[in-house]
Structure 1
Amino acid sequence: MPNLIPATDLSAFVSRCLTACGMPEGDAAKVATLMTRADLMGQDGHGVFRLPMYVRRILAGGMNLTPSFALLQDRPASALVDGDNGMGHLVMQHATELAMEKARKTGVAWVGARQSNHAGPASLYAMLPAQENMIGLYLAVGSANHMPPWGGTDLLLSTNPIAVAVPALQFPPIVLDMATTVAAYGKVKTAAQRGEPMPEGWMIDRDGKPLTDPARAAEGFLLPIGGAKGYGLSLIFGILAGVLNGAAFGRDVVDFNADAETVTNTGQAILVLDIAAFTDPARFRADIDDVWRQMKSSERMTGVDEIRLPGERLHRVMAKRTADGIPLPGALQERLATLATELGVAPL
C-alpha cells in the first residue's frame, strides 16, 4: 500500500530539492505549491512524479533558474510572454495572472507563452481564474510527440491538452481537463513505474496492434480521442498554443523525457473570461449550480450508479487527499529518497 504523505510535507520536500538545485527560494515555493496541488487533485502523472525529471533537466543546464519574463506583444486584451526558458509552472502562473488582470479591464483576455517548459496538469491554470469569478481555458503543446497525424506513422503531434474551469456557487467548479489522446503520456509512465499494464485502446504499435506493455511504449504511439476528430483537435490546439506563439510544434518539439539539455521552447496559452462582463457573477454561478442539478438528476441507464460532471472526481480526490494525505507508491518513494541523497537534502 502507498504511504500517505501530508501535502505540507510534500510541498516542503519539493521546495528543498529545487532550492538545492539553485532555484531562488520564492520561486521554489511557488513551483512546489503548484506541483503539490497537482497531486492533491489526483493528477499523479504531473505532480511530484515529475520532480526527478525536472531536476535532471535543471542540472543538465536545460532550464533557466533565474528567468526574466518579457512581453513580446502587449495589447489591452492580449499578450505574448517570453518565458526565458524558465520553469513552466512559473511561466504559466505569470501568464495566467496577467490574463486575469487584463480580463478585469476588458472582459476577455488571451495570453500566449513561448520559451516555456512543462508546467504540470492543464487544470492547474484553468482553475486559477475560477477562484476569481472568471472562466479559465488553457491550451498547451505537449512536451514530447507521441501521436502521428491520422493515418500516418511519424510522431508529429503530442497530447496537446485543454482544460476549462467554470465556477459554481454551492457546488465545486465544473472542470474539464483532457488530453487530445485517449490517455495522457504521464499515465503511461506511471503505469510503467507501478509495473501495471495499460488498458487496450491507449496505444497501438506500428502494425496497428494493441500495445499494453508500458515498457514498450517507445515502439508505438498514443491514439487520439474520437479517431480523426482527436487528431484534428491536437493539430488545432498545437497551432494556437505553439505556432501562434512562435513556440515549438511538429518536428521541432523536443522530447523532454529523453533530452534534458536542449531548450524545449514549449508553447502554452490561457484564455480568461470575466463573468461580470456578461452577467451578474452570483446569478451565473447559481445557474451553474442548476446545471449540476439537471445533469445529476438525469434518469440513468441500467447499471449506472451515478452521473458525474467533469471535475467531480477531481474535487472528491482533493478533499480526501487534503484530509488523509497524498498516496505515493513505493517505487516513487524510493526514487525520491535517492534524489534527496543526491541533492543533499532532508528526505520525506
Structure 2
Amino acid sequence: MNAAVKPEPGAAASLPSAALEGLIADAMRACDLPPEDARGVARLMVEADLTGADGHGIFRLPQYVRRLKGGGVNPTPRIEVERAAPGVALVDGDNGMGHLVMSVAVEHAVALAREIGVAWVGVRRSNHAGPAALYVDMLARRGMVGIYSVVASSNHMAIWGGTSSLLGTNPLAIAIPAGEDAPPVLLDIATTVVSYGTVKKHVLNDIPLPEGWLVSKQDGSAITDPKRSGEGLLLPIGGHKGSGLALMLGLLAGTLNGAAFGSEVVDFNADSSTETNTGHFLLALDVARFMRPEAFAALLAQQLNGLRADAPLPGTEGVRIPGDRRAALRETRARDGVPIAPPLRRQLDELATSLAIPPLDDRL
C-alpha cells in the first residue's frame, strides 16, 4: 500500500504500517535511542496496531516521548540477565523501554526452554511494553507455549471491596503454537472488564463509556462520561475472581522480582520523571518435549476445527477461538492500513513538529 485510504470527513484514515513505523522510529531516535533500538520499538508498537491492540500501539507514542524527554525512561539501558537456576532467569532492564527489555527476556526464555524444556524469566526495572500478546506470540512462533503477565503501569482498580486504586489491569496472556501455517491460539485479557488504554481512547475521542466499565470511588455509581474517567475505578472481570487474579499476577510479576506493586506503582500517565520499576514474568514451555511439533499442530487443528463447527448461539457472531480475530485483523490491516482517528492524528502531527521530524503526511 503506497498511499493512505481517503476517509469520510471525521472518520479514521487507514495509514500504511511503514509510515507509522517510520514516524515512531524517528521519534525514538529524537529521544536518543540508538538506531537499532528505535527500529525495534517501532516494529513492536506497529505490530500492536496491526493486531488490533490500538490502545497500546502508536496511540502511546506521545506518552512514551514525554517520559523519555522527562527522564523517566533510560534511552540507552544496559540490560543484564542473571541465570538464577537451570530454568530460571532474572532480567534487570536498567529502566529501558519495555519493548526492548521484554525482547531480551523472550530470547532468554527460549534459550532456557530449548535447553531444559521449561523456563521462567522474571523482569524488573522495565517499563510499559505494549500488549501482552506480543511476547507470548513471539514464544509460540518459536514452538513454545507462552504465559505472560506484568504489573500494569498505573493502578485503576481497587482490591475487592476497597475504594483505593491499589491494583492495575494486570493482564494475562497465553499462547499455544499451532504449527508453521497457522497463527497461535492466543488469549490476552486484562483482569479488568476493559483495559485502561481503551478508556483513554474513549476519552481522546470523547466517546461515552459503556455502563459497567467504571464506577465512582465515592458512591459506587456507574461512570459513563469520559471526562469523569479520572474519578472512577475499573471493575474486575468476574467480580472478586478478577480482583484476586490481578492480585496474584501482580505479586508474581512485581513483588517476586523486586519490582513495584500496589502503592509502589508509579502512574506513568501522570509522572514523566520517576522510574516505574515495572515487573513482568514469562513462562516458556517447549512443545517438543511432549511430542513432535507437527503432531501437536495436527491434534490442535482437529480440536479447534471441532469447536469451530459448533452451531452458533443465537444473538452472537458465532464461535470465536482466542487469537482468531487478532490474526484476521493483522491480515486486513497489513493490506489496507491501520486506522488512525483524527484526534490521534493531530497529536502525532504536533509531536512530529515538536521533535522536528517529518509528519505522517510526508511519509505517505
Distance in structure 2 (CA, Å) of the matches to 1:332 and 1:304: 31
Cα shift readout 1:267-300 (whole Å, capped 9, x = no counterpart): 0011111100111111111111112112111223
Runs of 4+ off more than 6 Å:
none
Q: Where does 1:308-319 land on structure 2 (aligned, <5 Å)?
A: 308-319=320-331
Following the alignment from structure 1 to structure 2, what is the Cα–Cα distance between the partners of residues 74 and 21?
34
Unaligned ranges ≥5, structure 1: none
Distance in 1 separating the partners of 2:315 and 2:267: 42
Task: Indicate which of 186, 193, 207 corresponds to 2:204.
Answer: 193
CA RMSD in angstroms, aligned pairs only = 1.0
Give the counterpart letter for 1:246 in structure 2: G
Q: How does 1:92-131 map to 2 (within 5 A)?
A: 92-131=102-141
For residue 72 of structure 1, report the CA deviation from its aligned partner.
4.1
Residue 218 (structure 1) shift: 1.2
Which secondary structure does the structure 1 equivalent of 2:173 belong to?
Answer: strand
Rounded to whole Å, the distance in 1 between the matches of 2:93 and 2:253 is 14
- The alignment partner of 1:257 has SS state of coil
TM-score by length of 1: 0.98
Q: Matched residue of 1:132: which SS? A: coil
How many Å separate the matches in 2 of 1:275 and 1:73?
22
Which residue of 2 is the match for residue 321 of structure 1?
333
Q: Report what 2:254 is aligned to.
A: 242
In the alignment, what sits opposite 1:66?
A: 76
- One of 292, 307, 318 as aligned partner of 1:306: 318
Residue of structure 2 in register with 1:295 after alignment: 307
Instruction: Give 2:18's match in structure 1, choosing from 1, 5, 8.
Output: 8
Matched residue, 2:187: 176
SS at match of 1:128: helix
Cα displacement string for residues 96-115 of structure 1 (whole angstroms, at most 9, x for unaligned residues): 11101110011110101000
Looking at structure 2, the residues matched to 302 and 255 of structure 1 have their Cα atoms a distance apart, in angstroms, of 42
In structure 1, C-alpha distance between the alignment counterparts of 2:323 and 2:283, rounded to whole Å = 19
Q: Secondary structure at the match of 1:8?
A: helix
Query: Contact 1:171–1:289 at 8 Å: present in 2 too?
Result: no
Indicate which of 4, 11, 17 corresponds to 2:27. 17
Bigger Cα displacement from structure 2, 214-223 vs 258-267: 214-223
Distance 1:189 1:267 in 2: 22
Of the three residues 22, 36, 51, the one matched with 1:41 is 51
Partner in structure 1 of residue 88 of structure 2: 78
1:76, CA displacement in angstroms? 1.8
Give the secondary-structure state (helix, strand or coil) at the position aligned to 2:54. coil
Structure 2 residue ranges without an equivalent (≥5): 1-10
Contact 2:311–2:318 (8 Å) recurs in 1: no
The alignment partner of 1:261 has SS state of coil
The match for 2:268 is 256
Give the alignment partner of residue 234 of structure 2, picking from 215, 222, 227.
Answer: 222
The CA distance in 1 between the partners of 2:201 and 2:303, in whole Å, is 34
| Change in 2 beyond 3 A, CA 1:171/1:248 | same
Match of 1:200, as an amino acid? E
8 Å contact from structure 2 (residues 203, 226) kept in 1: yes
Mean Cα displacement is larger for which, 11-20 or 165-174? 165-174
What residue is the counterpart of 1:140 in the other structure?
150
Match of 1:160 in 2: 170
Residue 132 of structure 1: CA displacement? Answer: 1.3
With the length of structure 2 as denominator, give the TM-score of the two structures. 0.94
In 2, Cα distance between equivalents of 1:35 and 1:302? 37
In 2, are the aligned partners of 1:14 and 1:48 still within 8 Å (CA)?
A: yes
Q: Secondary structure at the match of 2:157?
A: coil
Q: Is the Cα contact below 8 Å between 1:171 and 1:292 reproduced in 2?
A: no
How far the C-alpha of 1:245 sits from its partner, in A, is 0.3
| AA aligned opposite 2:208 | P
Residues in 1 aligned to 2:174 and 2:74: alpha-carbon distance in whole angstroms: 29
